[in-house]
Structure formats: structure tokens, C-alpha cells
Structure 1
Amino acid sequence: MNITVTEMAAAELEKIFVPDDMALRIDAELAGCCTWTLTVKIIPDELRRNDTVILKENMWFYIDHFTKKYIGEEIVLDFDSSTGYTLSNTDNIFICIT
């Protein structure tokens, strides 16, 4: 799995307080029945069994198997002051909640 973190995203992520024993989790949650909604969150969290652990731009990220399945193996994490964080792959763009 590869994450590209843009300069804008890295600058904003540094503002999030992450305790020493945690990392930033990129977490997807699927909800709905007739229409499916994928919510992606970036939150400080503890390591879970079977997480993928990634170090990018001096920041640690945790991603679980379910999230990887939906966001893909090659993603770009960006930030824009008007829209917030976005996570994208070659097929989709996801708005992230922090």
C-alpha cells in the first residue's frame, strides 16, 4: 500500500494531536441499505491486529483490511481549506472527516 501525502495535507495533519502510543488511522465505514455511503475518517487511534502500518512524511498511519479494500492500494491524501481533506485513488475521490 502506498500513500502520497501532499504538502498541504502534511501541514494540516501536523496540527492534529496524536499521543505517542498512537498514529493517524485512515478508517472507512460503509453504511446504508439501498444506497451505500462510504465515510472516510482520519483519527488518532491505537494499533489493531492486522493493521497495515505506513510511515509517510514523518507521520505514522494505520489502515485496516476493510478500509484498504475500499480505498485501494495507491492513494493520495490532500487538503484544501474550502473542502478539507480528500483521499483519492485512480477511480474515486473521498471526502475525509477528522
Structure 2
Amino acid sequence: MVISLTEAAVNKLKKIDTNENQFPRIDADIAGGCGISVKFTLIFDEMRRNDTVIEYEGIQIRIDHFTKRYLDEVTQVDYTEEQGFHVGESFSSSACAT
């Protein structure tokens, strides 16, 4: 698994002032009933016991096992002032058993 950060994302993450117990984390927001919808976000949270830690230009990004299984092999994190952090590609599946 590879996490890459655009220059804009790296610059913003280096400027963000967090307390010593909060770290950037990629989080999956899962919704659905018959199908599934997955949207990825970057949050700031405490470390979890079984996190995977990926370091990019001195920035440590944490990913829990639940989220990790939904990420692409290569996931890019970008940042814009208008939309904030954008993580990878969200996806949905409407495959329902009939």
C-alpha cells in the first residue's frame, strides 16, 4: 500500500497545529444497505493499537485495519482551500442479491 501526498497536502499538514495525542488518520465512512458506499476522509485522532503507520516526507499518516481494506493500492491525499483534504477515490457498489 502506498499513500502519496500532493505538495498542497504536505504543506497544509505541516502547518496544522494539533495536540500531542492527535495524528492524521485516513478514515472510511461506510454507508449502505443493499449496496455499499465508501467515502474516505482525513481526520485527526488518537493513535489506535493496531494502526498501520505510513510516513511521507516526515508526516505520519495512520490507517486502521478496517479502512485499509477499502483503500486502493495507491491512494493520493490532496488539499484545496475550497474543499479541504481529498483522500483517494470514493466508490459505491449496488450489487444486491435477488
- Regarding TM over 0.5, the answer is yes
> Are the aligned partners of 1:23 and 1:59 in contact in 2 as well (CA < 8 Å)?
no
* Aligned ranges 1:1-98 → 2 under 5 Å: 1-88=1-88, 93-94=89-90
- How many Å apart are 1:34 and its aligned residue? 3.1
Gaps of 5+ in 2: 91-98
- Secondary structure of 2:79's aligned partner: strand
Count how many residue pairs are aligned between Structure 1 and Structure 2. Answer: 90
Q: Where has structure 1 moved over 4 Å in runs of 4 or more?
A: none
8 Å Cα contact 1:18/1:24 also seen in 2: no
Q: Percent identity?
A: 40
Structure 2 CA distance for partners of 1:83 and 1:43, relative to 1, 3 Å: closer
Name which structure has the greater RCO, CA cutoff 8 Å, separation 6+.
Answer: 2
Confirm or deny: 8 A CA contact 1:52 1:63 kept in the other structure: yes
Could you say which structure has the larger radius of gyration?
2
Supply the AA of the counterpart residue of 2:22.
Answer: M
**Aligned-residue CA RMSD (Å):** 1.9
Superposed CA offset, 1:5-25 (max 9, x none): 110111222343322233101
